[in-house]
Chains A and B, each alone.
Chain A
Amino acid sequence: MPNALTTLPPDAENISAGGFNLHAGPVYRLADEGEVRRFALAVEQKHLNGSGNVHGGLLMTFADIAMSRTARVVAGADSCATVSLTCDFVGPGKAGDILEARVTVTRKTRTLVFLSADIVAGDRQVVAATGLWKIA
């Protein structure tokens, strides 16, 4: 597991340009770690559920944004559409966490990208995700 991010690194790039990405984000792209594509989201009050944990919908949104961006990067395409996404909610995320999505490519074909991702808060795993993207 990586060391906990306590602040966003200075080279973090805000990739939330508009629409729901901006509404739910902002999401930042971090430097790659070998084959792992990394993204970050700093948990705010608006991201929580009534129990004070990060809302499942926001976690799936973060997974979708990070994995869709990775699909576009590895496909070299302007656009990739999420076909399926499966999320296991392994543990809670909390207010003040900086969540990190770590995305890896399982397989790329001419038309499809298979991805998996872990969302972590330091040494705590929050989400395990797998999904399939269509290269537009």
Chain B
Amino acid sequence: MSRAPEGFRETRLIDPFELHCGPIYERGEAGGKVFGLRIDDRHVNMRGVIHGGMLMTFADASFGQAAWDATDHGDVVTLNMQSQFLAPAKAGDWLEVAPVLTRRTRTLLFLRGDFTVDGAAVFSVASVWKILGTG
């Protein structure tokens, strides 16, 4: 199975933990990117289902990329993440999300997104990010 569908390119990752868990992929341009992950044996629990921790790590990595794009490559950190685990996804599944910037203030970003496999939502996240250096 190819790691990513046609049209996706590998996302450039820097964080050691993201490199350890990746690769992740993206298509589209800043502000409207779709991010994807091919679930593999490293990502699953003993029942063969993707681990909640890996889902949240993919959310943090992909939303972090979206936040970085939204701030013209600013320094951003996660302040809060609310995760809902809707349905299981398994090794081999292609998981994707299009993060939505719900609101931006001078110091904060609000990002949300539904993560889908074959169009069905399996995981949903709402998060708040701090733009560093803005007081």
Residues of A within 8 A of B (CB): 17-21, 23-24, 45-50, 55-58, 60-62, 64-65, 68, 79, 81-89
Residues of B within 8 A of A (CB): 14-18, 20-21, 41-47, 50-54, 56-61, 77-85
Would you call A60 and B41 a contact (CB within 8 A)?
no
A81 to B79 Cα, complex, angstroms: 25
Residue A65 contacts which of B42, B53, B77, B78 (CB distance < 8 angstroms)? B53
A8 to B23 Cα, complex, angstroms: 32
Residue B20 contacts which of A23, A60, A88 (CB distance < 8 angstroms)? A23
A24 to B50 Cα, complex, angstroms: 13
Cross-chain pairs A/B with CB under 8 angstroms, 5 sampled: A20-B54, A23-B43, A47-B16, A48-B17, A85-B83
Would you call A48 and B45 a contact (CB within 8 A)?
no
Residue B21 contacts which of A23, A64, A68, A89 (CB distance < 8 angstroms)? A23
Q: A48-B15, A50-B16, A61-B51 are in contact. List 12 more A-B contacts (CB 8 A).
A: A19-B41, A23-B21, A55-B60, A56-B60, A56-B78, A60-B56, A64-B52, A64-B56, A65-B53, A68-B52, A81-B85, A86-B81
Across-interface contacts of B52 in A (CB, < 8 A): 61, 64, 68, 82, 85
Across-interface contacts of A60 in B (CB, < 8 A): 53, 56-57, 60, 81, 83
What's the nearest-Cβ distance from chain B to residue A70, in Å?
14
Would you call A61 and B57 a contact (CB within 8 A)?
yes
Residue B85 contacts which of A62, A79, A83, A86 (CB distance < 8 angstroms)? A83
A61 to B81 Cα, complex, angstroms: 12
Across-interface contacts of A45 in B (CB, < 8 A): 16
A37 to B69 Cα, complex, angstroms: 40
Residue of B nearest to A90 (CB): B79
Across-interface contacts of A68 in B (CB, < 8 A): 52
Across-interface contacts of B84 in A (CB, < 8 A): 83-84
A117 to B100 Cα, complex, angstroms: 28
Assuming the contacts A18-B46, A20-B51, A21-B45, asked whether A86 and B82 have C-beta atoms less than 8 A apart, the reply is yes
Would you call A49 and B20 a contact (CB within 8 A)?
no
Would you call A17 and B14 a contact (CB within 8 A)?
no
Assuming the contacts A19-B51, A85-B52, asked whether A55 and B82 have C-beta atoms less than 8 A apart, the reply is no
Assuming the contacts A47-B16, A49-B15, A87-B80, asked whether A57 and B56 have C-beta atoms less than 8 A apart, the reply is yes
A40 to B40 Cα, complex, angstroms: 26
